[in-house]
Amino acid sequence: MNVRALPGTAAPGPIETSIDTSLPPEGYVLYCTESGIFIRGGSEAGIFYGRQTLDQLGPDVPCGRISDQPRFGWRGVLLDVARHFMPVADVLRFVDLMAFHKLNVLHLHLTDDQGWRIEVPGWPRLTSVGAWRTESMLGSRQHGIHDGTPHGGFYTTAELREIVAYAAERHVTVVPEVDMPGHMQAAIAAYPELGNGFDGPVRTSWGISPHVLNLSQETLDFCRQVLDHVCDVFPSKLIGIGGDECPTDEWPGGRELQTAFTARMAEHLAGRGRRIYGWDEILAGGAPEGAVIAAWRGEEPAEVAIAAGHQVVCCPDVKLYLDYRQSDDPGEPTPVGTLLTLEDVYSYEPPSSPLVRGAQANLWTEHMESLRRVEYMAFPRLCAFAEVVWGPADRDFAEFSARLTEHLGRLDKLGVNYRPLSGPRPADGRDGAPGHPRTLEDRLAELREMTAELR
């Protein structure tokens, strides 16, 4: 952002906007003068971002000129609506908060072992059975505590279209994900013929289900039908097919079967003019040409993807998983993962390569049972992340911190339940839902083991 301040206060009144294609598509120039306010944008998106900046300046806008443009085209957030269902109004509210921070990709994690959230024509049991579980875990799986309370919900096609349209108006692309061929226990609970003999319920524990899709022609057809519907609802050029953490124990072969499966799905989507977006596990054995990789298991998968010529979105867990604990204060709700402070997020820097499209922060919701909890975990770390992907590579945390205090006032006006910089309030804790904190050393060693199959 380049700011030139001038004396005086801008005249209130209508804002004039125009498109200037000499600017980058998402870039803008905001002129605040005593005779009026003008926004030139490289496209409608640029004008939109100029307006966001203007909104943040408040009612008495000082005169001056701001020219601004993002560093990355993919400024994403993953929202996991599978582990905890989030009503449409809450998703829309979250989109508003994303747009306010100039974030532009909502990776919507629609299905998992613990719940299936998208209605699919011809497969009614996916939602009548797969969208509901009898109870949920309270806290990390190591403690084995369940709440005894049913949980569930799903989005109708009309609701998903509403989310897509609402997001598009705010220049946010919704990239849907149906995780396959693992993380599929909810679908298999609905249609046991998709599995390998498992005939049980939607998973009520966190963690990875061993029950995965079989790879019969019928099951591949099911996957194609689901993806066809996903393409009908979501205009995104990229369609998420997951691919993470798929145990192979139920299969007659190993990882090569998943590689072949992923290739079939990519081929099918290519026929509809779409490309796959998959977790870095799909690099094992070679990902299909054109696949965009969500590199979550550290820096190594991003390097492997780049070396293979794939575009990458970086979302390393120890840097950008916002379900990980924000401090070691005992009052933090369900502390899991490694310590991930506001400064840790602010200091994250993606590898430098033209194949890096950007980065995304991931909000896995095992331990976020409400929008309030999501906001607590997301903010203010998402404010820091927004600067990582929009602002320059050379950033100064002290300078950011000074500006953040003012920004938290804006979040107060919006009623955002952000984590106070001073630490959790008594009501922020989650009694009865204990966590499982990890050390960075342990987690990095584990990741190194997990990514061995990419070497």
The nearest distance, CB 298 to ligand ACM, in angstroms, is 12
Mapping DSSP onto H, E and C, the string for 182-194 reads CCCHHHHHHCHHH
- Single out the residue of 100, 223, 233 nearest to residue 175, CA to CA: 233
The residue behind tokens 């550290």 is 298
Q: Which is nearer to ligand ACM, 296 or 379 (CB)?
A: 296
Give me the least distance between CB of 82 and ligand ACM, in Å please: 12
Which candidate, 12, 16, 222, 217, places its Cα nearest to that of 111? 222
- The Cα 399–Cα 407 span in angstroms is 13
Known catalytic residue at 112: yes
DSSP lists the bridge partners of residue 108 as: 79, 176
Q: Decide whether 28 or 296 has the Cβ nearer to ligand ACM.
A: 296
Q: Smallest distance, Å, CB 289 to ligand ACM? A: 22
In the region spanning residues 281 to 340, those forming contacts with ligand ACM, defined by CB under 6 A, are 296
**Residues 217 to 246 in contact with ligand ACM, rule: CB under 6 A:** 244-245
For 195-264, the three-class secondary structure string (H helix, E strand, C coil) is: CCCCCCCCCCCCCCCCCCCCCCHHHHHHHHHHHHHHHHHCCCCEEEEECCCCCCCCCCCCHHHHHHHHHH
3-state secondary structure of 307: helix
Per CB under 6 A, does 450 bind ligand ACM? Answer: no
Please state the closest distance from residue 451 (CB atom) to ligand ACM, in A: 12
Where residue 183 falls (left for φ over 0; alpha for ψ -120 to 50; beta otherwise) is left
113 is a catalytic site residue: no
Q: Is 85 in the site for ligand ACM (CB under 6 A)?
A: no
The residue sitting closest to ligand ACM, measured at its beta carbon, is 244
Residue closer to ligand ACM by CB (options 66, 345) is: 345
Does residue number 206 form part of the binding site for ligand ACM (CB under 6 A)? no
- Residue among 97, 172, 15, 105 nearest 407 (CA): 97
Q: Residue 43 or residue 111: which is nearer to ligand ACM going by CB? A: 111
Catalytic residue among 109, 151, 171, 183: 183
Count of residues that bind ligand ACM according to CB under 6 A: 4
Q: Is 348 in the site for ligand ACM (CB under 6 A)?
A: no
SS3 of 410, please?
Answer: helix
Residue 154 touching ligand ACM (CB under 6 A): no
Does residue 277 belong to the site contacting ligand ACM (CB under 6 A)?
no
Is 16 among the residues known to form the active site?
Answer: no
Q: Give the nearer residue to ligand ACM in terms of CB position, either 99 or 340.
A: 340
Q: Of the two residues 70 and 278, which places its CB atom closer to ligand ACM in the complex?
A: 278
Dihedrals phi, psi of 201, to nearest 5 degrees: -85, 175
Residues that bind ligand ACM (CB under 6 A): 244-245, 279, 296
Give the active site residues: 112, 183, 245
